[in-house]
Structure 1
Amino acid sequence: MRVVLAGGGTGGHIEPMLALADALTRRTGAADPAPLVTCLGTARGMETRLVPARGYDLRLIPPVPLPRKPTPDLLRVPGRLHRAVAETRELLTELDADVVVGFGGDVALPAYLAARRAGVPIVVHEQNALPGLANRIGARLAARVAVTVPSTPLRGAEHVGMPLRTAISGLDRAARRAEARAEFGLDPDRPTLLVFGGSQGAASLNRAAVAAADALTAAGVQVLHARGPKNTEVSVPARPAGAAPYVVVDYLERMDLAYAAADLALCRSGAVTVAELSAVGLPAAFVPLPIGNGEQRLNALPVVEAGGAVLVADADLSPAWIESELVPLLTDPQALSALAEHAAAAGTPDADERLADLVLQVAGREVGDR
Structure 2
Amino acid sequence: MNTSEPSVVLAGGGTAGHVSPLLAIAGAVVEAAPAARILAVGTAAGMETRLVPAAGYELATIGRVPLPRRPSLDLLKLPFKFAAAVRQAAGIIDGAKADVVVGVGGYVSTPMYIAAKLRRVPIVIHEANARPGLANRVGARLAERVAVAFKDTQLPGARWVGMPMRREIATLDRQSSRSAARRRLGLAPEEPTLIVTGGSSGALSINRTIAAALPELAAAGIQVLHITGRNKALRDAEGQLLTAPGYHQVEYVDGMQDVYAAADLLLARAGAATVCEVAAVGLPSVLVPLPHGNGEQALNAASLVEAGGAVLVRDGDFSARWVTDELVPLLKNPARLQQMSAAAHGLGIRDADARMAQLVLEATGEEHR
Normalised TM-score (structure 2): 0.93
Q: Which residue of 2 aligns with 1:212?
A: 213
1:197 is displaced (CA, Å) by: 1.0
Residues in 1 aligned to 2:160 and 2:209: alpha-carbon distance in whole angstroms? 35
1-structure distance, mates of 2:248, 2:92: 48
Question: What is the identity, as a one-letter code, of the residue corresponding to 1:47?
Answer: E
Query: Any idea what the Cα deviations from partners look like across 1:29-70, whole Å, max 9, x if unmatched?
Result: xxxx43211111222222222211111111222222222444
Judge which range, 223-232 or 151-160, deviates more: 223-232
User: Contact (CA 8 Å) 2:289, 2:313: kept in 1 or not?
Assistant: yes
Quote how far apart the aligned CAs of 1:228 are: 2.6
Moved more, 223-232 or 313-322: 223-232
Distance 2:326 2:8 in 1: 47
Match of residue 242 from structure 1: none
Q: Distance in 2 between matches of 1:61 and 1:227?
A: 31
User: Aligned residue for 1:6?
Assistant: 11
Question: Secondary structure of 1:158's match?
Answer: strand
The Cα of 1:210 is off from its aligned counterpart by 2.3
Distance 1:172 1:75 in 2: 53
2: CA distance, partners of 1:255 / 1:292: 25
Shift in Å, 1:304: 0.7
Report the count of equivalent residues.
359
SS of equivalent residue, structure 1 residue 289: coil
Write the distance in 2 (CA, Å) between the matches of 1:112 and 1:130. 19
Say if 1:248 and 1:8 are closer, same or farther in 2 by CA, change over 3 A. closer
Tell which deviates more after alignment, 111-120 or 211-220: 211-220
Partner amino acid, structure 2, of 1:178:
S
Distance (whole Å) between structure 1 residues aligned to residue 221 and residue 162 of structure 2:
36
CA distance in 2 between counterparts of 1:203 and 1:251 reads 15
CA separation of 1:302 and 1:68: change in aligned 2, threshold 3 A: farther
Unaligned residue ranges in structure 1 (runs of 5+)? 240-244
Q: Structure 1 CA distance, aligned partners of 2:13 and 2:230?
A: 23
User: In the superposition, relative to structure 1, how do residues 208 and 50 fare at CA in structure 2: closer, same or farther (>3 Å)?
Assistant: same
Q: Which amino acid aligns with 2:274?
A: T
What residue number does 1:226 align with? 227
> Is 2:25 aligned against 1:20?
yes
Matches within 5 A, 1:75-94: 75-94=76-95
**Is the CA contact (8 Å cut-off) linking 2:225 and 2:247 kept in structure 1?**
yes
The reply on whether 1:260 has 2:239 as its aligned counterpart is no
- Distance in structure 2 (CA, Å) of the matches to 1:207 and 1:144: 43
Residues 360 and 215 of structure 1, relative CA distance in 2, 3 Å threshold: same
Contact conserved, 1:213 with 1:236, CA < 8 A, in 2?
no
Q: TM-score, normalised by structure 1?
A: 0.92
User: How far off its partner does 1:336 sit?
Assistant: 0.5
The Cα offsets for residues 310-346 of structure 1, whole Å up to 9 and x where unpaired, read as: 0000110111111111112111111101101111112
Alpha-carbon distance, 1:236 to partner: 4.6
String of CA shifts for 1:226-251, please: whole Å, max 9, x gaps.
12332333455442xxxxx2222222
Note closer, same or farther for the CA distance 1:96–1:231 as it changes in structure 2 (3 Å cut): closer
Structure 2 CA distance for partners of 1:97 and 1:229, relative to 1, 3 Å? closer
| Residue aligning to 2:103 | 102
State the Cα RMSD in Å. Answer: 1.6
